[in-house]
């Protein structure tokens, strides 16, 4: 009896959350996978189309282009955020009060809603000589740059905005990681005559490997599902130059009313995200053996 109670107890505690996840996450996902095999017409009856929606995935040039943009966005925004977040953490680690104030100030972009942040950056990057950033560029003889308004610079501008927004989030995780590094290792290094760079390379970075993996996994998931940042700042344009997989998916659902195709794209994105994440975790496990 006692053993049974011990087994059931934790599940009872978890039950509300599991129920919530089941209803609002798992069930819509299963339903989305089911709909991906249909031409969806709620009031006329859904038509089974087999794998037609999936075949369309591979022959749609607009989706192909969105996939490329998403991969570029994920690669640069994630690596940029990790790089900036790491150096912010290194610069702002420690318990001193003024450092805590600075860390809070640096963290602020993360708590701003993405819609508000995108509106802010749209204003800052207004593509005339009188836009805030262009006005500064003008003072040093550069610009005006079109930023969000040119197919050549829209995606890069969105990536920069994402780094600004996400780097502080990564910083917080790195700060936590840095606090857990054994101080004695640093002292031992110092006694051996290791300089600042050697300490960073041979103590800090290896100690941060598990944390870096978490930041990377979270970043990849965030990067592959990028939506609000693009939808609000560029709407996927100009000329589709910043269209991501999820903005494309949303367009199919909301503007073209092709729910089945949108569901197929969502399912494919789910599979790719899971595969990439698992591959990366396996790679980390092997690297750490």
Q: Residues in the site for other proteins, rule: CB under 8 A?
A: 21, 24-26, 28-29, 31-33, 35, 40-44, 62, 122, 126-130, 144, 146, 148-151, 154, 210, 213, 217, 221, 224-225, 234-241, 246, 249-251, 253-257, 259, 262-263, 265-267, 269-270, 273-274, 277-278, 281-282, 284-285, 288
Closer to other proteins by Cβ: residue 115 or 188: 115
Closer to other proteins by Cβ: residue 22 or 195: 22
Question: How long, in residues, is the chain?
Answer: 289
Q: How far is the CB of 240 from other proteins (least distance, A)?
A: 6
The token duo for 124 is: 């800052």
Q: How far is the CB of 256 from other proteins (least distance, A)?
A: 5
Closer to other proteins by Cβ: residue 30 or 101: 30
Cα distances from 288 to residues 77, 178, 211, 213, 282, in angstroms, run 26, 19, 13, 11, 10
Closer to other proteins by Cβ: residue 189 or 266: 266
Closer to other proteins by Cβ: residue 14 or 188: 14
Closer to other proteins by Cβ: residue 148 or 174: 148
Q: How far is the CB of 77 from other proteins (least distance, A)?
A: 16
Q: How far is the CB of 285 from other proteins (least distance, A)?
A: 4
Closer to other proteins by Cβ: residue 92 or 216: 216
Q: How far is the CB of 79 from other proteins (least distance, A)?
A: 19
Q: How far is the CB of 39 from other proteins (least distance, A)?
A: 11
Q: How far is the CB of 194 from other proteins (least distance, A)?
A: 26
DSSP string, the chain: -HHHHHHHHHHHHHHHHHHHHIIIIIHHHHHHHHHTTEE--TTT--EE-TTHHHHHHHH-HHHHHHHHHHHHHHHHHHHHHHHHHHHHHHHT-SS-HHHHHHHHHHHHHHHS-HHHHHHHHHHHT-SSTTSHHHHHHHHTT-----GGGSTTTHHHHHHHHHHHHHHHHHHHHHHHHHHTS-HHHHHHHHHTT--HHHHIIIIIHHHTHHHHHHHHHHHHHHHHT--HHHHHHTTT-STTTT--HHHHHHHHHHTS--HHHHHHHHHHHHHHHHHHHHHHHHHHHHHH-
């Amino acid at each position: 009896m006692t053993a049974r109670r011990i087994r059931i107890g934790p599940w009872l505690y978890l039950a509300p959350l599991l129920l919530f996840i089941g209803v609002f996450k798992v069930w819509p996902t299963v339903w989305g996978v089911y709909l991906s095999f249909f031409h969806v017409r709620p009031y006329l009856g859904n038509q089974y189309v087999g794998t037609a929606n999936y075949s369309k995935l591979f022959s749609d040039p607009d989706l192909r282009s969105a996939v490329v943009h998403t991969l570029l966005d994920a690669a640069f925004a994630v690596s940029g955020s990790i790089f900036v977040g790491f150096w912010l953490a290194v610069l702002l680690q420690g318990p001193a009060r003024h450092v805590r104030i600075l860390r809070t100030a640096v963290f602020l972009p993360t708590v701003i809603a993405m819609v508000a942040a995108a509106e802010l950056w749209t204003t800052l990057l207004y593509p005339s000589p009188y836009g805030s950033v262009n006005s500064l560029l003008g003072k040093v003889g550069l610009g005006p740059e079109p930023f969000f308004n040119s197919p050549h610079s829209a995606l890069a501008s969105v990536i920069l905005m994402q780094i600004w927004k996400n780097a502080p989030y990564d910083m917080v995780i790195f700060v936590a990681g840095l606090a857990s590094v054994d101080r004695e290792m640093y002292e031992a290094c110092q006694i051996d005559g290791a300089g600042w760079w050697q300490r960073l390379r041979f103590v800090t970075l290896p100690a941060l490997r598990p944390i870096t993996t978490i930041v990377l996994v979270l970043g990849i998931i965030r990067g592959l599902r990028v939506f609000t940042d693009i939808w609000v700042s560029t709407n996927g344009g100009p000329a589709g130059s910043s269209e991501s997989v999820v903005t494309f998916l949303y367009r199919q659902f909301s503007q073209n009313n092709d729910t089945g195709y949108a569901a197929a794209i969502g399912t494919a994105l789910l599979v790719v995200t899971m595969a990439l994440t698992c591959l990366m975790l396996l790679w980390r496990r092997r690297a750490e053996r």
